Chains A and B, each alone.
Chain A
Amino acid sequence: GAVVSQHPSRVICKSGTSVKIECRSLDFQATTMFWYRQFPKQSLMLMATSNEGSKATYEQGVEKDKFLINHASLTLSTLTVTSAHPEDSSFYICSAEDIEFSGNTIYFGEGSWLTVV
């Protein structure tokens, strides 16, 4: 099946710094990518929908100035956590939408563990 690559898989950063997470669709073009946050033993929480060439759509309660999303190409979306704080520590997951003849399919990346110290 289609592959979505997410990098880095783990990152530790100091409080106040910014961290960038990349999401790439490796064998298909994704006009739409999604960013999720997941807390332990909970379901995925949608943060924002990223559309190639346009501004991301953020879910209610998600600070767009803190979680910067850029979808500059059909295969790459990035999430930048700005001025990170310990409460931003979490598991961040991206997904990409593959538009196939039979319909759309969503594939997920492997996730990125962010620890802010």
Chain B
Amino acid sequence: GENVEQHPSTLSVQEGDSAVIKCTYSDSASNYFPWYKQELGKGPQLIIDIRSNVGEKKDQRIAVTLNKTAKHFSLHITETQPEDSAVYFCAAMDNQFYFGTGTSLTVIP
């Protein structure tokens, strides 16, 4: 089955800096790669996703890149703000849904 690895597990950045979270996957059949933001005590919220026919997608300060050959995808957050502080999960999906282990992002004002 699929194996999704996510790094780093914790990340601290200064407000205004960029944050990058990386995930790798093992199953070349995976074709959908969403990113979720989970705030304390709440359910995960879909923030951006990318499908296997696209290499990059951007939505304001958030972007995701996908390298199918290397089987990795990354979340990029620019101009970080304190409200970006949360746990971020990547996921890969073929017929099933597989989560990464999460990255706790802290943006320091």
Contact = CB atoms under 8 A, between A and B. Distances in A.
B97 A46 contact: yes
Contacts of A61: none
- Sort chain A's interface into a size bin: 20 to 34
Interface in A3-53: 4, 6, 34, 41-44, 46
B36 to A, nearest CB: 7
A1 B44 CA distance: 13
Contacts, number: 48
A108 to B, nearest CB: 4
B46 A6 contact: no
A106 B46 CA distance: 8
B43 A43 contact: no
- Sort chain B's interface into a size bin: 20 to 34
Given A103-B32, A108-B36, A44 B44 contact: yes
A108 B101 contact: no
B89 interface: yes
Given A34-B97, A106-B34, A111-B41, A44 B51 contact: no
A95 B82 CA distance: 27
A104 interface: yes
B43 A105 contact: no
Interface residues of chain A: helix, strand, loop or mixed (majority): strand
B99 interface: yes
A105 B89 contact: no
A43 B32 contact: no
A70 B97 CA distance: 20
11 contacts: A34-B97, A44-B99, A91-B41, A95-B44, A103-B32, A105-B49, A106-B34, A106-B93, A107-B46, A108-B36, A110-B42
Interface of B: 31-32, 34, 36, 41-46, 49, 51, 89, 91, 93, 97, 99-102, 104
Given A46-B97, A102-B51, 12 more contacts: A44-B99, A91-B41, A93-B43, A95-B97, A104-B93, A105-B34, A105-B46, A105-B49, A106-B93, A108-B45, A111-B42, A111-B43
